[in-house]
Structure 1
Amino acid sequence: MKHTIIDASQFELTDKVVAIKRVTKTVKGGRNMRFTALVVVGDGNGHVGAGLGKAVEIPEAIRKGKEDAMKHLVKIALDENNSITHDFIGKYGSANVLLKKAPEGTGIIAGGPARVVCELAGIKNIRTKSLGSNNKQNVVLATITGLSQLKSPEEVAKSRGKSVEEVMA
C-alpha cells in the first residue's frame, strides 16, 4: 500500500472520539493515571484518518489524537452512489472488517467503530461485518486499511490494460 501525504489544512474536517481509556502505571510512590483517546477525523468526501493521543488530562489526549489523525489521512475511492467500488476485507492485528458494496438507499449498516469511520469518510451506502477481535482501535484501523486499499474502476482498468467498460462488464 503506497501512502501519500495529504495536507489536512485544505479540508473542512470533523472529528469524533471513538474511545477514551484510562491507563495506569504503578510506580514506587503509587499509581500514575493517564488517558488515551482514539479519534477519527474526516471531511465527508472521501478523506478519513484515525489517531491516538495520550496525556494526563482527557482534553489534551483528544487534541493530540486529533492532530495524529490529521497526519494519517487517506483517500477513499467512492462510486456514484457514495458506496465503495467493490467488496473487500480490511485487516489490522486480529481484527478483520468485511466491507460490502451496497445499493442506493441501504444506508450505513455497520457497528460502532466501523460506523464512525464510514460516516466521516462520506460513505452513504455500505454493509460491514466486524470479524475476529472487537478491540475498538484495531477495528477502526482495519476499516481504514480496507477502505484505503480499494481501487477505482479506472485504476483496475489501467493495471489490467483494458478499458473501464471491459472491467465493469
Structure 2
Amino acid sequence: MRQERIDASQLELTEKVVSIKRVTKVVKGGRNMRFTALVVVGDGNGHVGAGLGKATEIPEAIRKGKEDAAKHLISVALDAHGSVTHDYVGKFGGAEVLLKKASEGTGVIAGGPARAVIEMAGIKNIRTKSLGSNNKQNVVLATIDALRHIKTPEEVARLRGKTVAEILG
C-alpha cells in the first residue's frame, strides 16, 4: 500500500460531480438549507481522489468538494493494457466494490459512482460490480479503497522476496 503524499498543485486535475444533495437542519427559527457535493478529481493518469463539500450554495459546495478531493489523492497501479494489475474487493461502510482485471478492448464496465472514480483515474479496461449498499458516497469511497490496495507485480515480488517472473508464473 503506497502512502506517499501526492502534490496536487503539479497535476492537471479534472473534476466530476457525483452527487449534490440538499440537506436541512431544523432550528428554532425554521429550517437551514445547505448543499452537499460529492466530487471526484483525477488527472487521467493514475491519480484520483474524492471529497465532500458542504455550503449554503451549490457552486461553493462543489469548490470545497474539489479542494477536499485534491487533499486526498491516491496513486493507482495500472498494467500495460490500462487496467488494474489484479482483482480486488474494496470496502467502505456497507458498500463493497469488486474490481476485475480486463484485457485490451473491454472498456470501462462500471455503474454510476464507481465509473466516475475509474474514469478520473485513467483506467481504460476494467470490469466492476457494486455489491452491498448503493449509497453513492460509500460506493465512491469503496472504489477508492480498492484502487489504493492494488499492488504492482514488482511490489508483490519485493514483499515476498521473489522475482517478478516467479510471481507472474
Tell me which interval the TM-score lies in, with the shorter structure as reference length. Answer: over 0.9
Q: For residue 51 of structure 2, what is the aligned residue in structure 1? A: 51
Which residue number in structure 2 is paired with residue 160 of structure 1?
160
- Residues 57-78 of structure 1: CA deviation (Å, up to 9, x unaligned): 0000000000000000000000
Corresponding residue SS for 1:20: strand
TM, length-normalised to structure 1: 0.98
Q: Which residue of 1 aligns with 2:130?
A: 130
Counterpart mapping for 1:1-169 below 5 A:
1=1, 3-169=3-169
Query: % of aligned pairs identical?
Result: 76
Q: CA deviation at 1:121?
A: 0.2
Q: Which amino acid aligns with 1:106?
A: T
How many residue pairs were aligned?
169
TM-score (norm 2): 0.98
Aligned Cα root-mean-square deviation (Å): 0.7
SS in 2 for 1:116: helix
Q: Distance in 1 between matches of 2:61 and 2:151?
A: 34
| CA shift for structure 1 position 152 | 0.3
CA offsets per residue over residues 67-122 of structure 1, 9 Å max, x none? 00000000000000000000000000010000000000000000000001000100
1-side partners of 2:135 and 2:2: how far apart? 26
Structure 2: which 5+ residue stretches go unaligned?
Answer: none
Cα distance in 1 for partners of 2:2, 2:25 equals 37
Secondary structure in structure 1 of the residue aligned to 2:142: helix
C-alpha distance in structure 2 between counterparts of 1:2 and 1:84, whole Å: 15
- SS of the residue 1:129 aligns to: strand
The CA deviation at 1:2 is 5.4
Distance 2:82 2:40 in 1: 19
Corresponding residue SS for 1:17: strand
Aligned counterparts of 2:37 and 2:27: Cα–Cα separation in 1: 23
Q: Which runs of 4+ in 1 moved over 6 A?
A: none
CA contact (8 A) 2:2 2:148 kept: no
- Measure the CA separation in 2 of the matches of 1:3 and 1:33: 37
**How far is the alpha carbon of 1:5 from its aligned partner?**
1.7
